[in-house]
Amino acid sequence: MNTHPQTILWVDADGDAWNMRSVLLARLDLRTDVATSPDEALQLLRNRKYAAVVIGCSFPDPAGTRICRELRGFDRQTPVVLLDESPSESSRDEAFAAGVHAYASRSADPNDLVDLLAELITQNETGTRTNHKRASENDN
């Protein structure tokens, strides 16, 4: 398996939809790979080690949680952040049950998400972990 510990996998049906990737690159000095389908994401995840995975839930439900459930079948450690266009308590609960580490609104402040990713990557490297329900106080 190839290792790319300085790379984040960004999974979104529209790979150019959000400016978060440029914020990530600037703030965390990480490379970002993009997958535009669940199958493409899982193929990349089976062949590479990523520092973290960000799943934008612009796919038909339940693709985001499917990606995470399948990932957890062969990788239980890589931090996963799920960004939901319409966050709800039930979808948040489903996301955590699938194995995500953080759940946030897609409209959350990109700087808050960058901070959250940095924290999750550090926790993964040090072996400590906490689940985060939100990356922003204003994401209801």
pLDDT at 136: 41
pTM of the model: 0.82
Angle (deg, nearest 10), helices 89-98 and 63-72: 20
Sign of the CA dihedral running 106, 124, 63, 132: negative
Q: What are 10's two structure tokens?
A: 């960004």
Cis check for the bond before 110: say yes or no (omega within 30 of 0).
no
* 130, 123 contact by CB (below 8 A): yes
pLDDT at 140: 43
Cα distance between residue 103 and residue 12, in whole Å: 15
Domain map of the chain by residue range? Answer: 2-126
Beta partners for residue 33, in sequence order: 9
Cα–Cα distance between 58 and 98 in angstroms, integer? 17
Q: Which fold has domain 2-126?
A: Rossmann fold (3.40.50)
Token pair, residue 100, equals 């995500």
Q: From first to last of the 140 residues of the chain, give the pLDDT tens digit.
A: 444 447 889 898 876 655 566 666 667 778 888 898 999 999 999 999 999 999 986 665 678 888 999 999 999 999 999 988 777 888 889 889 999 999 988 777 878 888 898 899 999 988 876 666 544 434 44
Percent of the chain as helix, strand, coil, to the nearest 5: 40, 20, 40
96/48 Cα distance (integer angstroms)? 23
